[in-house]
Amino acid sequence: MASSQKNLSSFNYSKDQHVSNYRFGIVVSEWNEEVTESMFEGAISTIISMGGNRNNITRLDVPGSFELTMGAQHLAQLREVDAVICLGCVIQGETRHFDFICQAVAQGITDVGVKYNKPVIFGVLTTDTLKQALDRAGGKHGNKGDEAGATAVKMLTALNS
């Protein structure tokens, strides 16, 4: 497994002044809250460290990862939001429920971005265990929230340059 060998949240960026004008919507799943809260904090701190303004970040909580798509659509349709970040965590169980949820969320988030022509970032962990999720939400493999925040900034910068 490649991720066992490095911190996945290592990336290079430069602080960009016009980032402070970008407005972000972050949809956070309440399911696996210990994981998603850490990811949320990572996304916010990364956006701010890249020059973003905390006052330009809107949060929307949804019950679970399946509902991230509807939350993303709600935020993406707002003129006051330039990019949407979806943060969730789906952990494999004993049934195929995991497969259906993961596929639906991935496709739904992609569809929202295309429909509204805005960056809609997939910050959803799909792991076998809670430990793997925690390792990727601020643990030894970094924080997927950091990556999602950086991706949103980089996409906005790329699309608006």
Per-residue confidence in pLDDT tens, the chain, 161 aa:
344 554 545 555 666 557 889 999 999 999 999 999 999 999 999 999 999 999 999 999 999 999 999 999 999 999 999 999 999 999 997 788 888 999 999 999 999 999 999 999 999 999 999 999 999 999 999 999 999 999 999 999 999 88
CA dist 126 and 131 (Å) reads 12
Alpha helices in 90-143 (DSSP H): 97-116, 130-135
Determine contact, residues 58/75, Cβ cutoff 8 Å: yes
User: Would 23 be classed as within a structural domain?
Assistant: no
User: Would 3 be classed as within a structural domain?
Assistant: no
Look up the pTM and report it.
0.90
Domain that holds residue 74: 28-129
User: Would 61 be classed as within a structural domain?
Assistant: yes
User: Would 52 be classed as within a structural domain?
Assistant: yes
Q: What is the pLDDT of residue 77?
A: 97
Q: What is the pLDDT of residue 146?
A: 96
In angstroms, how far is CA 49 from the centroid of its own chain? 16
Q: What is the pLDDT of residue 97?
A: 85
> Cα dihedral sign for 89, 92, 97, 102?
positive
Determine contact, residues 85/93, Cβ cutoff 8 Å: no
Which residues on neighbouring strands pair with residue 160, listed in sequence order? none
- The single-letter DSSP state of residue 59 is E
Q: What is the pLDDT of residue 160?
A: 87
Q: Residue 97 catalytic? A: yes
Q: What is the pLDDT of residue 149?
A: 97
User: Would 150 be classed as within a structural domain?
Assistant: no
Domain count, the chain: 1
User: Would 53 be classed as within a structural domain?
Assistant: yes
Q: What is the pLDDT of residue 15?
A: 61
User: Would 1 be classed as within a structural domain?
Assistant: no
Determine contact, residues 85/27, Cβ cutoff 8 Å: yes
CATH number of 102's domain = 3.40.50.960
Angle between helices 33-49 and 144-159 (to 10 degrees): 40
Structure tokens given for 50: 């890249």
User: Would 13 be classed as within a structural domain?
Assistant: no
Which position among 18, 74, 97, 141 bears the catalytic label? 97
CA dist 32 and 67 (Å) reads 14
